[in-house]
Amino acid sequence: MTEPPRPFGAGDPGDRPDPTAPSGSSYEPPTAPLSGAPGAGGYPPPGGYPPPTGDQPGGYPPPGGYSAPGVGYPTAGAYGAPAGGYGAPGGGYATNDDKTWSLIAHFGGPVGVIVGGSLLGWVAPLIALSAKGQQSPTVQAHATSALNFQATWAIANVIGFVLAIVTCGVLFFIPMLTALVPIIFGIIGGVKATEGVVYRYPMSYAFKK
């Protein structure tokens, strides 16, 4: 059976015409006021749009939208650090052991010159090179530099003694100079080694590459 027609005004309340609307116009249900750009279907989302954040003038996001978290900002470890890093064992050396042997190679030269009469300055660098040079390139560089210098001036000291003897003491000051030079520069090399720098000794012959 077909449903009999409903009288005027019956049915759902939403179907009733607006009595205040002009005659001849179609009735449209009221919509919620829009706040900002319309959402899907032209209506704002439930609860309305969030208030502007104030990141940009007028509260709008920057062109291209906001970047993903962490993008555009330096991350931990992005900035480089000095060799060995701050607070590294040995203050720039890979280990404290490397620093110890490097200092022995440099400071041991002057000690050997003083104790051995300027002829044993090469002993400490040679010991450091033999003990740790094959395991640590850092110690090898320090010990090799000190060994070449001390060996050069040990030979120069021998020549100075010969000249002093041949000239009957006229050139007595030459052995003194050849003994003083390795002491002074050996100390300078040790100070540089405490800073992690391989000191390039002057007036040194490269016996050991």
* Whole-number Å distance between alpha carbons of 37 and 50: 12
Biggest CA-to-CA distance, the chain: 148
177 Cβ neighbours under 8 A, 6+ residues apart: 160
pLDDT digits (tens, 9 = 90+) for 18-68: 555 555 545 555 554 544 455 455 555 666 666 655 555 555 556 666 555
- Residue ranges of the chain with pLDDT lower than 70? 1-92
- Number of C-beta neighbours around residue 204 at 10 A: 18
In terms of Cα–Cα distance, which of 135, 145, 108, 138 is closest to 123?
108
* pLDDT for res 104: 95
Contact 160, 178 (CB under 8 A): yes
Q: What is the pTM of this model?
A: 0.55
- Picking from 208, 195, 5, 203, the residue whose alpha carbon sits closest to that of residue 82 is 195
Q: Hey, where are the domains in the chain?
A: 96-194
Q: Which two tokens stand for residue 163?
A: 């000249």
